[in-house]
Amino acid sequence: MKENVMIQRAAPAYIRKLFRFSSPHLQVECRYYTAQVATSLRPCAHSDDEECPVVDWDKLGFGFMPTDYMYITKNSDVAGNFEQGQLNRYENIQLSPSAGVLNYGQGLFEGTKAYRQDNGGLSLFRPRENAIRMQIGAERMCMPYPSTDQFVDAVKQTALANKRWIPPPGKGSLYIRPLLFGSGSILGLAPAPEYTFLVYASPVGNYFKEGTAPLNLYVDEDFHRASRGGAGGVKSITNYAPVLRAIRNARERGFSDVLYLDSVNKKYIEEVSSCNIFVVKGKVISTPIACGTILEGVTRKSIMVIAIDLGYQVEERLIEADELISADEVFCTGTAVGVAPVGSITYKGQRIEYKIRSELVCKKLYSTLVGIQKGHIEDKKDWIVDIE
């Protein structure tokens, strides 16, 4: 197909050459040429360019779709400093069988999004928060990490280089996945001698197959996502494969996902497989306190601030699963899922139903969040980073 031929085409030579130098002058020049290349990659919705990606934006789910470029760099010295990164065509990478990430799971990932606004501008949402969270995770996993500025610049470059893949307003977003992993060879249990920081992207729509329909969750009392003293509070790659069995079991029974309990008392809710959870009772919005077993999501933080601004009382605390029975409303948040209402939760064989109505608190919060992301509502907190 024509688009496959386009994806395999070699990148302009001057991009690769300029990225090999590191003087301040050439770094600026490099960013200029990168922007020039990205400018020619116009999205289908705004151009008749024959090289527009052939995508049915209305049917966009959360499946992986290869885009054009990825950003990559490695740490260059024993101090853990990372080299000036470069944009390469998206392709497979070479990795030793003895790489630290393959043998001992020494790796982290982040998730953020680029949006196309109604005026045609492109923006990111709070990427510095992702950079800081990766740094916290890297400290926990004994890994060097890129600076906040280098992280944000890498995300910007990746978004711009793939901007023709950013869906039209209201059709989705460009999901950007930064990775940090031990790429150096290691046999004994120890930190890897070399690390790679890589950023790739894919256009996405709704995370769950239900789309915007309410989620049906299952409280699993046998499987646990994290334990005290572990790495549940950071975005380690090791946190996700262990929950696949629980997710599969739940989906085979018709549920959307799993809500996990704490592993010690087995009575406090923690989070869903890939998102945080909130419980609403009157004007009080509660979410499980982040105490090392819960990932502090960027969307979670943002929703908490928005809720306070809208006059709600927000609490971070231990929430017993029994409280779900009397809750007015329950919803999930995450970069991938956005803000998703929960229609039911099944706990100890009892199915708890929640009324789904137009005046849901989560819909009001989500509407404000999306309004800020798309530029409809004034960004008074400097959350938005314009990239074009």
> 374 versus 151: which is more confidently predicted?
151
Active site annotation includes 283: no
Overall average pLDDT of the 145-153 stretch: 97
- Mean of the per-residue pLDDT values for the chain? 87
Q: Which of 59, 235, 301, 374 is catalytic?
A: 235
Query: Residue 7 pLDDT > 50, yes or no?
Result: no
Query: Residues 204, 212: contact at Cβ < 8 Å?
Result: no
pLDDT tens-digit series, residues 114-126: 999 888 899 999 9
pLDDT tens-digit series, residues 289-315: 998 999 999 999 999 999 999 999 999
Closest CA to 385 of 132, 155, 119: 155
pTM recorded for the entire structure? 0.85
253-257 long-range contacts, Cβ below 8 Å, gap at least 24? Answer: 253/218, 254/216, 255/216, 255/217, 255/218, 255/346, 256/208, 256/210, 256/215, 256/216, 256/217, 257/208, 257/215, 257/217, 257/218
Query: Residue 26 pLDDT > 50, yes or no?
Result: no
**Residue 91's pLDDT band (boundaries 50, 70, 90)?**
very high
Distance of alpha carbon 374 from alpha carbon 307, whole angstroms: 19
Query: Residue 40 pLDDT > 70, yes or no?
Result: no
- Which pLDDT belongs to residue 211? 59
Query: Residue 1 pLDDT > 90, yes or no?
Result: no
Query: Residues 134, 110: contact at Cβ < 8 Å?
Result: yes
Distance of alpha carbon 82 from alpha carbon 180, whole angstroms: 11
288 pairs with which residues across the strands?
Answer: 317
Burial status of residue 264 (CB atoms within 10 A of its CB: 0-12, 13-18, 19 or more): exposed
- Which pLDDT belongs to residue 288? 97
